[in-house]
Amino acid sequence: MTQFIDRRQNGKSKSTINRQRFIRRFKKQIKAAVAESIDKRSITNIEQGEKITIPKQDLSEPSFGYGKGGIREVILPGNKDFTTGDRINRPKSMEGGTGSKASDTGEGIDDFIFELTKEEFLDLFFEDLELPDLIKTKLASEPTFESVRGGFSTVGTPPNIHLIRSFRNAIARKRTFSRSYRKKIEALEDELKREEISKEDKEKIKLKINKIKNKMSNIPFIDDFDIRYTTKVKRKKMTTQAVMFCVMDVSGSMDEKKKEMAKRFFSLLYLFLTKSYKKITLIFIRHHTTAKEVDEQEFFYSRETGGTVVSSALELMHKIILERFPTTDWNIYVAQASDGDNWNADSPKCRSLLVDKIMPYVQYYAYVEILPRHHQSLWRSYIAVKEIFKNFAMRNISELKDIYPVFRELFKRKVS
């Protein structure tokens, strides 16, 4: 006999549906707590869950109560003092404590603490963000696949059992196998109705009917070959090719505080891209007087430093685009972080590189200036670029709390 075991995953002692409903209901408070927690995290633990606190006043439910005055009728079962029509004075209201300070009467309510998982934290954190103008749709060189329903199969694993189809097969099989038995029973019952039949023959016919019914009851309700499993097949999926250039200034003027803020910005960008897009290429470039393409580890943790020539990074980026990322096939994005301290003669060169060789081919360019004492020649040169290209964005970060709002502003989803 086949047994069905429900092995669907659900949190221990939790209801997934109720949990999702709770997050939707208090989404505003939860998102505010998520944004605040980012400022307190280091790069190494930015991709973790979070315990958030919802103020008690936000958890209050509307309630109705009787105010002073008015007339109402009530039933007091079992009383010996009052009869119909008697008037009873209202009891004096008792006011208790609110929980904010000590009180000898009443009860208070603590703030509610709710723990978000890593996935829930990142979903809320990157909600409503996207890469702007992701439009080129040529298939990627490495095709991607998606799983789609492929019908039903007689083999599979218990979690993939399709209950409705299995029960439908079982009912059809049982009705088919019992059809001949039912016809025999109907014929015997018709014979019982004949008046000329003897009492002994009637008893024999009844015994035959009982034997047939016993055989019918032995037909199992469900058998192994009734069971059907849902199957999935992989289907080739159209994907967009996108590359993000992460350009970070690591010159001597970028002290540890500035580098920490730049790294946090790029950490958010890295998490956002890897979580939100299945197929995206990341190119990391560090520069001082010279620029170098590096891997993720070296980009975030190398301690190399030197002078400042920003054009070296732009030239290297342009070279990489020409060699590896044809602009007809790729959506190209750039995020650059610097303190704006550049060799004065190099800033006009940066403007020319952007206007003539880079901006005509990129979907979006985001420049973030970290803790400037005052805006210098690089910022002024970039303003000239921004006046020409609408897809060039500039923002300033002065302290840690500015990182998250600036990041969301740069990559906020456009309302169509």
Q: What is the pLDDT of residues 49-73, one digit of tens each?
A: 656 666 665 666 667 766 666 676 7
Tell me the CB-side half-sphere exposure of residue 95, using CA atoms within 13 A: 1
The values of phi and psi at residue 381, to 5°, are -65, -40
Task: Tell me what pLDDT residue 40 has.
Answer: 59
Task: Tell me what pLDDT residue 100 has.
Answer: 47
Alpha-carbon distance 355 to 353, whole Å? 6
- Asked if residue 264 lies in contact with residue 43, where contact means CB atoms within 8 angstroms, the answer is yes
Task: Tell me what pLDDT residue 73 has.
Answer: 73
Q: What is the pLDDT of residues 274-303, one digit of tens each?
A: 777 767 888 999 998 899 999 988 888 887
Q: What is the pLDDT of residues 321-373, one digit of tens each?
A: 999 988 887 889 999 999 988 888 899 999 999 999 999 999 899 999 987 66
- Asked if residue 369 lies in contact with residue 403, where contact means CB atoms within 8 angstroms, the answer is no
Alpha-carbon distance 244 to 333, whole Å? 5
Task: Tell me what pLDDT residue 45 has.
Answer: 54
What pTM value is reported for the model?
Answer: 0.54
**DSSP E strand stretches across 348-391:** 364-370
- Going by C-alpha positions, the residue among 55, 37, 33 that lies closest to residue 46 is 37
Alpha-carbon distance 383 to 15, whole Å? 52
| Amino acid code (one letter) for 164 | I
The values of phi and psi at residue 364, to 5°, are -165, 140
**Residue 185 pLDDT > 90:** no
**Residue 18 pLDDT > 80:** no
- Going by C-alpha positions, the residue among 382, 381, 387, 408 that lies closest to residue 397 is 408
**Which sign does the torsion angle of CA 330, 387, 265, 248 carry?**
positive
Neighbours of 357 (CB within 10 A): 16
- The answer for residues whose C-beta is within 8 angstroms of residue 383's C-beta and 6 or more apart is 394
CA dihedral 113, 272, 365, 344 (to 10 degrees): 70
CA dihedral 378, 384, 386, 392 (to 10 degrees): -50
Q: Which residue has the tokens 């003539």?
A: 356
Task: Tell me what pLDDT residue 381 has.
Answer: 92
- Asked if residue 285 lies in contact with residue 292, where contact means CB atoms within 8 angstroms, the answer is yes
* Cα-based distances in Å from 353 to 48, 237, 315, 325: 39, 36, 7, 17
* Cα-based distances in Å from 192 to 130, 195, 215, 254: 79, 8, 20, 104
Alpha-carbon distance 368 to 124, whole Å? 23
Task: Tell me what pLDDT residue 171 has.
Answer: 86
* Cα-based distances in Å from 172 to 7, 142, 276: 27, 46, 46
Alpha-carbon distance 188 to 193, whole Å? 9
Q: What is the pLDDT of residues 128-182, one digit of tens each?
A: 666 665 554 444 445 566 777 878 888 888 888 888 888 888 888 888 888 888 8
Mean pLDDT of 373-398: 89
CA dihedral 252, 255, 256, 262 (to 10 degrees): -90
Mean pLDDT of 399-409: 83
Q: Is 339 exposed, middle or buried (0-12, 13-18, 19+ CB in 10 A)?
A: buried
DSSP code at position 167:
H
* Cα-based distances in Å from 145 to 231, 239, 247: 16, 9, 31
Alpha-carbon distance 159 to 229, whole Å? 9
**Residue 312 pLDDT > 90:** yes
Taking each helix axis as running N to C, give the angle between helix 403-411 and helix 27-38, from 0 to 180 degrees, rounded to the nearest 10: 120
Task: Tell me what pLDDT residue 81 has.
Answer: 78
- Asked if residue 338 lies in contact with residue 310, where contact means CB atoms within 8 angstroms, the answer is yes
Task: Tell me what pLDDT residue 193 has.
Answer: 80
Tell me the CB-side half-sphere exposure of residue 402, using CA atoms within 13 A: 12
Element (H, E) at 51: strand 50-54
Confidence at 383, pLDDT banded by 50, 70, 90: very high
- The answer for residues whose C-beta is within 8 angstroms of residue 128's C-beta and 6 or more apart is 408, 412, 413
